[in-house]
Structure 1
């Protein structure tokens, strides 16, 4: 080994580097042999909250926090490395770290705001070059936790962020770093989370007995870990190796000790990352160069699908097939886009690259689709003199980004080409820091010292954004009123038309109004966005997930002022008199109006309008009493109504002789008395009507008097009305109801029948009676019952006294005077 390219310790603690996910609890500790106990007392920052403000909605549920993890420690360049798990959470809980294959078990407890260190023996580290070892590490807890793994040697150390079992997948593309003929050890590991897991591995380059591009299988049970390491000469690289499993697995990529960018650069460093499944990769990335460094940073792009085209600042730089990796140096801020999901990794070059105090590190760059709205991050507690946060934010919120409760000056940000984002390099002090913005943004934290460095993304979601195939908005068009909320729903599905949950959808309304929000899809693959319009006109609502977008339109109309309506003054008059209704209405917006009159009158009184759809109209009612009239107007949107009272009296005094309610006669005398009203106009005519039929004139005296006539009725119910008319044409009327019933009741004895033998003289007679009028039914002269009109079944109990044959008499008489009698023969056993 060429010692020129091995990192030299400069007396400080070696970095514990955490690649953090969403809801980050980052505990990055400066450690060396004497630092482990101190690190266990370091405080962990708070977990990331789920909201920023009213414009930022629920964040992804798929994060780096969880209650179950399967982890491993890929081998460092020496087998004596110190292995430590750091566990943090914002809920007090307990848990267990187990290495089932080695019979190891360690209990732990979590105190919010602190980091718990669990030391593992160095024998847990993987040493196989091409083999399966029982070295899977199982971490379980009673509440959500974050887990970080530290693999430390005095001169080469790295750390990884553990991904919970719930966020794992079955398809991976390895990202590591190539051999450069200094210390050749490009490697990756696979850990099974379930028994009977078959892993198919397709090496990107020849490794040992495995030829490039030729798949081979590894069978794993729960807790078993497979490691494949390339010790072949440059440019051997396990990057781009395809890993596909029948059940979810954890995959780690890295290097025993890598020189970056090549073998001429001092010095090498151990690399390790737990890799996200390809389902969580993205298509849009924005990056900012590492502060203080000269000559740019090394980047690698890995493709998960054939036909992947990668562009850098709008120019195509790579055409990749599945498993291919492209490496380049990028100077300055950059926008990276791809037509298919990719994995982007940013590397710090060795200090020999530019002579700046530094060291290689490797960190995953979260895609824009996996950004969050706030982060809590921390630097190591010591050992790094220079610490920075690189921030990329949408251009529209550069003046609204908060760092530790204070706004970051907008002048700190520079636009990143035409990406729509701006970036900043912010020096930060040692310790924890909280960052937030009203829209999702990205954070990368890193630091340098002599031959030392660290770096990790401040957080990211782990939603299945790479699986997004369809994004549709509904409704396609809409109309809303200024001042109201208008809502659209985005539906997100994969290529098999299955809903995708936990995917962040970015919404933006533009036009006469503007609004933005980020909303995560629910279990049905839907996300709802609502915004308020403040101006009339047209808006376009855009929903996007990376480069997948859809748009709909909404038209905002001005708020409608309802019409103002007046039904006119209250009126007094006579029955049958035509009275003028003087209604009016106006509309503040000048909208055309429609009108409609309606009324509510006492029972039996009927009214008509002269012009029912005009504001000025007339009303004429055929009876007396108080009538409520209402004028309703409509402007096409709103309705308004006003009412007035019309009090009507009779012009003459009129009474009718009392008519029988029921009669069985075909002829009936109708009579009455009429007296002229106070107007002295006199009564000019009088007449009877039956059921509104033809008038039957009668002639009273001019001043009124007695009138009568003989009516001939048909069977049925009739309304008899007496009307008188004065000289002004005013009609006064009274009416009564008469039912003419010429049909006797129907009586039937249902039981007992003559064929029945009754055991007791006390017998219940069941009688069916039917008549158009109410009736009275009498049995044996003393059991009496009044029944309504219609069909009735009666039960009359009588005591026949004697045992033998008896006659039972039943009589029914209706209200009209019709009678029916029946006699039943009833036998009582002796």
Structure 2
């Protein structure tokens, strides 16, 4: 399934080509810093110190403790993106398992030949109600209910083929639709805009109850700062579903993939703040941008962008300056991408605000990220972020999977404050190291970056409580953060949902092109969570401090799976990784407005 052996010279040559393109630090990649000094973070297990960044500066953290200069120009991609060579066909089975051979990304990329296979339809039948006070546990059964309830289960979504490394940005983009209904089929169509008219590009297709279907789609990727009219995909279903995007769907041949859960239109917000990773150079001397992408859900949308750093000009996008707003007029399905101007800066803290009753989708991205900034290897990252009104105050920070069980490698966390004078408390079991202290006070726009790990029996999960709303994002680190020469996994991003937004049931896709796939499950102590009707073993769960919550990281096979908590809401993140690649996405989340006051 993946390039896990170096016994073949051909495979070694391909792997070395990609590791070079993705930032193998053996050639001396420098990490970069912003225009002001900030504390450094030591990524060695057990010695991590947090970096606090305020809203007036945006500086990168160099975990090696070295400092380098900021470059003030961007380099244009050298590739000329082309559409896939095959037209998408309507899927007729419930999941898609790409079966492509690995190809050299330095040559013309080709689309995976998708051979859908049918997955067994799980027969789990559970109650969707909950008596858990303060937690969301609602799966709407009709589109009208979905309009008036809170969750990432919905009937209309917008997806976007996001900017990635030049070697991978034309590879096979795909959308997966999960039908979480117990006994209703979902009729699904995916459309693209031709002129001012939406036209089907995949479907109509029937997705069975408690099943999932994947739709390979034509290349429509964005690039750097760009305004692209009608460039989004629109997903419509006749019963509530959950939607995900994979970019690309085949991690084996690209080494440069990630995935994201999509928010339905009723869950979108008009106030959106970016939390993202920094920009940097890879070892091909190519500028890998930190950027943000928005999609308009309605005609007549005015998007006001207030950059936190200097942003690059592009087609239809002016150059931006910190704290100086600019407006972009958008219609339904239009795509706006804004990228940083300079190395060592990120889009974190940039606000995208739209006019009343005209919500937008916000995605944070990095073309190819090194985490830590001087550690091989780079990987594409993307995540659709929830609007600020959906941010919470109570989180179980369940780390991404441990790739080195004997000595767990550390993972990166970002915590971003939505309000001033925000006291944030961190609680962990003995042995967990790298937290920024028990109490930290942040103002609006401030954020923390810190690396956390622990021993094998306490690998780095912790509890976060705050006075005001925060966003929490977790990142897998580069393969050589485990040890020099290691090739297992690379950076991937997932926004951690607050406890208030957990759901009782998820239908998820585990793609067939990654060797290691893990479900990171967070449950209330003593609750039962099943995967395809089989309970997760209680012994797999580890309590998190004194929170009454516990976390398990369990291997999960390729295919479509139903995770069910019966009466109890729980959280799930799906993560896959193999040689020099990884993906991560949240299985679903509630969308109750728990932060109604925006500062």
Give the TM-score of the pair, scaled to structure 1.
Answer: 0.49
Please list, as runs of the form range in 1=range in 2, the aligned pairs for 1:428-467 lying within 5 A after superposition.
428-431=556-559, 432-436=561-565, 438-467=567-596
Does residue 364 in structure 1 map to residue 495 in structure 2? yes
Q: Distance in 1 between matches of 2:412 and 2:113?
A: 32
Distance 1:28 1:429, change over 3 A: same
Closer, same or farther: CA 287–155 of 1 in aligned 2, 3 Å: same
Q: Give the match's secondary structure for 1:214.
A: coil
- Within 1, Cα distance between the matches of 2:468 and 2:115? 45
How far 1:130 moved relative to its partner?
Answer: 4.4
Q: 2:337 corresponds to which residue?
A: 227
CA distance in 1, matches of 2:589, 2:467: 21
Residues 1:249 and 2:360 aligned together: yes
- Contact in 2 for aligned 1:77/1:256 (Cα 8 Å): yes
**Alignment partner of 2:539: what SS?**
helix
SS of residue paired to 1:418: coil
Q: Once the two structures are superposed, what CA deviation does each residue of 1:298-357 show, in whole Å capped at 9, x if it has no partner?
A: 111122222233222174454333333321112212111211111111111010101352
Match of 2:383 in 1: 273
* 2:192–2:231 CA contact under 8 A, matched in 1: no
Q: What is aligned with 1:375?
A: 506
Question: In structure 2, what is the equivalent of residue 166 of structure 1?
Answer: 266
Equivalent-residue separation in structure 2 for 1:379 and 1:2 (angstroms) = 24
One of 185, 198, 206 as aligned partner of 1:111: 206
Cα pair 2:172 2:247 within 8 Å, conserved: yes
Q: Aligned to 1:38, what secondary structure does the other structure show?
A: coil
Aligned partner (choices 303, 310, 325) of residue 215 of structure 1: 325
Q: Which residue of 2 aligns with 1:76?
A: 164
Question: In the TM superposition, what is the alpha-carbon distance from 1:295 to its structure 2 partner?
Answer: 2.9
C-alpha contact 1:91 1:112 (8 A) present in aligned 2: yes
| Residue aligned with 2:595, SS | helix
Preserved CA contact (<8 Å) 1:100 1:223: no
Within-5 A mapping of 1:716-727: none
Describe how 1:263-302 pairs up with structure 2 within 5 A. Answer: 264-289=374-399, 290-293=401-404, 294-302=408-416
Query: In 2, distance between residues paired with 1:460 and 1:27?
Result: 22
Q: What SS does structure 2 have at the residue aligned with 1:166? A: helix
Q: CA deviation at 1:365?
A: 1.0
Unaligned runs of 5+ in 2: 1-16, 25-93, 101-109, 140-148, 313-318, 429-436, 454-459
Identify the match of residue 421 of structure 1 among 545, 549, 552. 549
Structure 1 stretch 340-349 or stretch 194-203: which is displaced more? 194-203
Which of 173, 187, 201 does residue 291 from structure 2 map onto? Answer: 187
- 8 A Cα contact 1:66 1:145, kept in partner: yes
Q: Is the 8 A contact 2:520 2:572 kept in 1?
A: yes
Which moved further from structure 2: 112-121 or 52-61? 52-61
- What TM-score, normalized by structure 2, do the two folds share? 0.67
TM-superposed CA distance for 1:286, in Å, is 0.9
Tell me which protein shows more strand as a share of its residues. 1
Question: 1:322 is matched with which residue?
Answer: 444
Deviation, structure 1 residue 118 = 4.0
Describe the SS at the equivalent of 1:111.
Answer: strand
Contact 1:298 1:330 (C-alpha < 8 Å) held by counterparts: yes
**Is 1:307 paired with 2:438?**
no
1:109-148 pair list within 5 angstroms: 109-113=204-208, 115-122=212-219, 124-127=220-223, 129-148=225-244
* Matched ranges for 1:612-627 at <5 A: none
Match of 2:359, SS state, is strand
Once the 2 structures are TM-superposed, how far is the Cα of residue 136 of structure 1 from its aligned partner?
A: 2.9
Rounded Cα–Cα distance in structure 1 between residues aligned with 2:275 and 2:132: 36
**d(CA) in 2 for partners of 1:418, 1:174:** 31
Indicate if the aligned counterparts of 2:255 and 2:581 stay in contact, CA closer than 8 A.
no
C-alpha separation between the residues in 2 aligned to 1:317 and 1:55? 28
1: distance between equivalents of 2:465 and 2:190? 42
CA positional deviation for 1:139: 2.6
Q: Does 2:468 align with 1:340? A: yes
The 10-residue stretch of structure 1 (113-122 or 339-348) with the greater mean CA deviation from structure 2: 113-122
> Which residue does the alignment assign to 1:204?
308
After TM superposition, the structure 1 = structure 2 runs for residues 491-510 of structure 1, keeping only pairs within 5 Å, are none
Question: In structure 2, how many angstroms separate the alpha carbons of the residues matched to 1:156 and 1:184?
Answer: 12
Q: What is the distance in 2 between the residues matched to 1:42 and 1:36?
A: 18
CA displacement at 1:231 relative to structure 2: 4.7
User: Aligned partners of 1:325, 1:456: CA distance in 2, in Å?
Assistant: 22
Q: Secondary structure at the match of 1:233?
A: coil
- Shift in Å at residue 165 of structure 1? 1.1
Whether 2:114 is the aligned partner of 1:37: answer: yes
Tell me if structure 2 keeps the 8 A contact 1:50–1:58: no
* Bigger RCO of structures 1 and 2 (CA < 8 A, at least 6 apart): 2
1:98 to partner: Cα distance: 2.3
Q: Give the superposition deviation at 1:274.
A: 1.6
Aligned CA-pair RMSD: 3.2
Are the aligned partners of 1:109 and 1:116 in contact in 2 as well (CA < 8 Å)? no
Structure 1's 181 and 318: CA in aligned 2 closer, same or farther, altered over 3 A?
A: farther
The aligned residue for residue 394 of structure 1 is 524
TM-superposed deviation, 1:369 = 0.6
Report what 2:189 is aligned to.
Answer: 95
Shift of 1:100: 4.1
Between the aligned partners of 1:64 and 1:244, the Cα distance in structure 2 is 21
Aligned-pair distance for 1:370? 0.7
Q: How far apart are 1:184 and its partner, in Å?
A: 2.3
**How far apart are residue 366 of structure 1 and its match?**
1.1
Query: Cα gap change, 1:306/1:102 in structure 2, threshold over 3 Å: closer, same or farther?
Result: same
Summarize the alignment of residues 784-795 of structure 1 with structure 2, pairs less than 5 Å apart: none
Aligned to 2:106: none
- CA distance in structure 1 between the partners assigned to 2:120 and 2:280 by the alignment: 39
Provide the C-alpha distance between the structure 2 equivalents of 1:252 and 1:239, rounded to a whole number of angstroms. Answer: 12
Query: Quick one: distance in 2 between partners of 1:47 and 1:167?
Result: 27
Pair 1:387–1:191, CA change in 2 (3 A): closer
**Helix, strand or coil at the partner of 1:279:** helix
Aligned to 1:411, the other structure's residue is in SS state helix
